[in-house]
A = this chain, B = another copy of it.
Amino acid sequence: MHNSLIYIGILEPSQIVSEGIQSILFQSDKAIKVYRLNDLEELDELCEDKTLDILIISSLQIVNREKEIKKIRKSYHNLLLVGIDYGLMQIPTELFDGTFTLYDSSEYFINLLSLLNKNKKVNKTDISDENGLTEREKDVLKGMVNGLSNKEIADLLNISIHTVISHRKNITAKTGIRSQSGLTIYAISKKIISIEEIDLTNH
């Protein structure tokens, strides 16, 4: 019996983490070929030439992209998806064939990958969660990030405070982010608002 080469893609913006994973992979006794991706979009391009066995995705690339990940599942039935859990945000484990954290040992990590690769059968649970915020939700988020109270946001948008609260519920449901500061960072990173737009002095 021979071990065939395992093709692994890594989508991980942190160079340190990415290097660490590669280093551990290369130290293992598996025959592994690693490709680094900078973005989810690069997957199609890469898969034109190669057949990836495993795609490792950073949690930083997961938030609010469930739909894209589901699409990948559909397009590449035999591609195993492994999530890196940073502990910073909730990652939807149902979407992945396996996850690991930065604090797991290299043994654990290698075992996870080789086990997954052996039994290539997947549980494609359809936990549905919508991503992307609607325009109105973004409006409310901007208000939140600017430190406005629900009442003030309601006045600003000329809607009822109840509507604002509804939107907020949807925002937290969609993003899994509950704290003001988390949402601030989220809004900045998603370019929903820029730092310059934030009024520090607001209530």
Contacts and interface: CB of A to CB of B under 8 A. Distances in A.
Interface of A: 13-24, 63, 86-90, 102-106, 109, 144-148, 175-186, 195-196, 198-203
A181 B20 contact: no
Contact of A21 (B20, B103, B144, B147): B20
A85 B175 CA distance: 24
Contacts of A198: 88, 181-182, 185
B180 A179 contact: yes
A89 to B, nearest CB: 5
Contacts of A22: 23
A23 B14 contact: no
A13 B195 CA distance: 15
Nearest to A149: B179
B109 A16 contact: yes
A202 B179 CA distance: 6
A128 to B, nearest CB: 20
Contacts of A102: 14, 16-17
17 contacts: A13-B103, A14-B102, A15-B20, A15-B104, A16-B102, A16-B106, A17-B20, A19-B20, A20-B20, A86-B87, A144-B181, A147-B179, A178-B201, A179-B180, A182-B198, A182-B201, A182-B202
Contacts of A86: 87
Leading 6 A-B pairs by shortest Cβ distance? A147-B179, A20-B20, A180-B180, A182-B200, A16-B20, A19-B20
B15 A105 contact: yes
A130 to B, nearest CB: 18
Given A15-B20, A23-B19, A200 B89 contact: yes
Nearest to A21: B16
Nearest to A18: B20
A54 to B, nearest CB: 16
A16 to B, nearest CB: 4
